[in-house]
Amino acid sequence: MSSKIIIIAAITLLTVSFSILFVIETKNHNYDYGKTWSVVYFENPSDNSLDFTIENHLGEKAEYKYEVLAGDKKVIDKKVEIEAGAKQKISPVIESAVDDERITINVRFKDTGYKIYKNYK
């Protein structure tokens, strides 16, 4: 009789433990739950397009300032607002021909800065 009680208690304890771990892991897989981060990346890093995306996972609506530099020359300087948990694709168009081998995109939010580069030639 006591062995049945031990087996039932162990199975109950394991079931409760697995259920709690499942709930905790489900929350941790949510990009926005209890986290504050954002990311900037090129849509396709291997082509000549300058299309890039900013993802906002800061938990609040945020205004990002971005600038596109051809070498050391600033060619685009704009701002974009992105809702919490959303991503914004940006397709900058450089009006003049790109003579430099390196394009730099600087993105800023408050004191945080991100830089991505694309090399030509």
Query: What residue spans define the domains of the chain?
Result: 1-30, 37-119
Query: Residue 99: its pLDDT value, please?
Result: 63
Query: Residue 19: its pLDDT value, please?
Result: 94
Range 37-119 has CATH code 2.60.40.1940:
yes
Q: Which residues of the chain have pLDDT under 70?
A: 32, 96-100, 121
Q: Which of 45, 96, 43 is nearest to 74 (CA)?
A: 96
Query: Residue 98: its pLDDT value, please?
Result: 60
Q: Could you write out the DSSP letters of every residue in 1-34?
A: -HHHHHHHHHHHHHHHHHHHHHHHHHHHTSTTTT
Prediction pTM value = 0.73
Query: Residue 96: its pLDDT value, please?
Result: 64
Distances (CA, A) of 105 to 41, 60, 64, 73: 10, 23, 12, 12
Query: Residue 37: its pLDDT value, please?
Result: 87
